[in-house]
Chain A
Amino acid sequence: MILPILLLLPLLAAAGAGAWRGDPRAVARGSAVTSGAGFLLSLALAGQVLREEVVGFGRGDFLRADGLSAVLILVVSMVAWISLTCGEGTLRRARDRKELDDAHLRRYYLLTNLFLFTMLLSVTANNVGVMWVAVEATTITTAFLIGLEDSREALEASWKYILIGSVGIALAFVGTVLGYFDFVQRVGETSHSLNWSVLAGVADRLNGDVLRIAFVFVLVGYGTKAGLAPMHTWLPDAHSEAPAPTSSMMSGALLVVALYAILRWKVVVDACVGSVFTDRLLILTGTLSVAVAAILLVRQVSYKRMLAYSSVEHVGLMCVGAGLGPLGTLAALLHMIGHGAGKSFLFLLSGNIREAYGSTRIASVRGLLRARPWTGGLFLAGTLALLGLPPFSLFVSEVMIFRAGFLAGHPAVTAFLILLTLVIFVFFLGYVNRMLYGRPPAEVPAAPESRPLELLPLAVNLAVLLAAGIVVPAPLLRLLRLAAGVIHP
């Protein structure tokens, strides 16, 4: 019964936010509670999946959670809870400064909860058609969140996002239709022919040529939402213009949800034509994404855009990992968790930095460690984690991905990837360095942190990054193995 409750919680919170006419702070507190409960339930669900392997709900298992879904549910719930609790202060103070009004805030909580619901539905829907509908719905719910602040830039970013996102996702639907067509031709129509579990089960009887075409459409389509190059062009705009907690959820959770959709289809295609075809495509797109991110990170003026390009890099790495066999896939899944924790951490802190300095330009931020010691110190820690330094979990997963690359017989590509991550490391750290030290500008109030306690939930992110970095906890490792086993049966 955990599964349906998990999906019901954000719907309830959204209904509350939509109906409530009073103080928006009550809505904020409500969302913090429901998303916190959701996070705890996602842990319980992971335990249930470890025991039963597959958890289903509804007629013909309308909702279905296996190891892979459980990992994604964990990431989504964790990032959502962190964003809804830590981001609350940023939004509340924006309202105090009259940048946002009560209606904005209520709309924010309504849409954010719906956004959370659509992400959870995407990773638990058994029907690939419903999965598509849910991923498409994330575009609709987030478009207004990006444009929450009504600025010209935000408007431009939302238009780009909704247009490119809708077109991309439409292409993913072509892939879905072709897969369904293949199934109906070869197996005939059954009541659950679009169910993922049914498709994967009979995949060896399907037509390989049609499935290959379908996969290309799926990769381009969901790849657009996942921010894979060359379809990434909307991402830096959207992620940098959205309010900090929204950027945190879009970057930490939504990108991997789209990647999840690609992986689901990969299983079906692999069962029919072997994994060489999809692996090659994933390695190619992934490497291209890391390369594009590295090139664009070299010259950055905005720290939020810098974080956005780093998302392109990390999704690219996950994509490569998923194309490198069981070890690489395990690493990619661990990377999803680490990136979710690290990126939401940094985006939420970026909201505080912007509040203190009134700008998202790297050049405007000086002396962060002196002006805001907590925010600055945590930002540095998060940066080191995100750049893949030990003892953080992204170090482990990146080393695993590179190892898998050499073992799978791709030494040139792997060496190239290592080079690119080094370039990103140098430039990213250089920019953060400039923000941290120096003399804070005179107009930044010298007062210490207004509310360091507000940053407390971020301790969960740090704990996740450290725990999985020093020694991956046994249950988590079992869950990751289970999930990797779904992709490589």
Chain B
Amino acid sequence: MGSFVLSKIFPSDLNKIPPFIENIAKKVLSLTGSDNDAFKVKLVLEEAMTNAMRHGNLLNPKLKVFVKISVGKKKIMLQIRDQGKGFNFHKVPDPTNKKRAQQPCGRGIFLMRKFMDEVTFSGKGNKLRLIKKININPA
């Protein structure tokens, strides 16, 4: 198995996330041989899809989340888009700040920024692109 592109549309149902990200993690592990990369891709994909469904679409089952995963020889790109009102992605507080430690929000985006090489929000904040450099094992 080599590079691939996968597009999928989800209802705003959190129960749809775990089996999907587990499958993607297995593919990444198979391609890269890196348990660490597979773990990080799985984690940020859960964070991004959860945010899209919960905070973007407000768990409205009529609203969809669009996921596109592109795996090339040197990078994996995750694109997630929701149908919500968006948010000001320039004003996400640092959840590691002691004054913010009791607050539940912002941890997912913080983990994305730590575990990915590029994290880009666009539009009104409802489009997210995540890129991680990888090395695909030669067949």
**A associates with B:** no
A→B interface (CB under 8 Å): none
